[in-house]
Amino acid sequence: MTESKLGLLGLLRDIRARGEHVYGVGAPSRSTTLINYVGLDEGIIDCVCEIAGSHKIGKYIPGTLIPVVDEERLFADQPEHTLLFSWHIADELMPKLRARGFRGRFIVPLPEPRILG
């Protein structure tokens, strides 16, 4: 897991060094665990998008200052990258986000960090 952790951190730092933005998608407990394990913060992840009506919107990812926002922001802002916190269903989630209008690239963090699309 350490190689994946360092690989993801390096990948995200490189993206930010180029001045590009990364929005997370999905604020389940696994996002909090991954964010805190890898040491991500608001300087690396702009925000985490959550489905409309979620009680998490308007709050922060625990242990960070990363805001949780309505997922419509992903489509309105069109960041260059979105980090999929529901990586276990990435193959199902990516087409749905594309169909709703997301044009950026997807970051699947595990088992090996990779950028798709």
Domains in the chain, start-ordered, CATH in brackets? 2-111 (3.40.50.720)
The tokens for 21 are 């933005």
pLDDT (0 to 100) of residue 28: 76
Backbone angles phi, psi at 89, to 5 degrees: -125, 30
Per-residue tokens: 24: 């997370």
What does the pLDDT read at residue 97? 98
pLDDT confidence of residue 29: 85
User: Token digits for 89?
Assistant: 């269903």
Q: Is 30 exposed, middle or buried (0-12, 13-18, 19+ CB in 10 A)?
A: middle
Residues in the chain, pLDDT under 50: none
What's the pLDDT score for residue 1?
Answer: 60
Environment class of 73 (CB within 10 Å of its CB; exposed 0-12, middle 13-18, buried 19+) = middle
Q: Nearest 5°: phi and psi at 31?
A: -65, -45
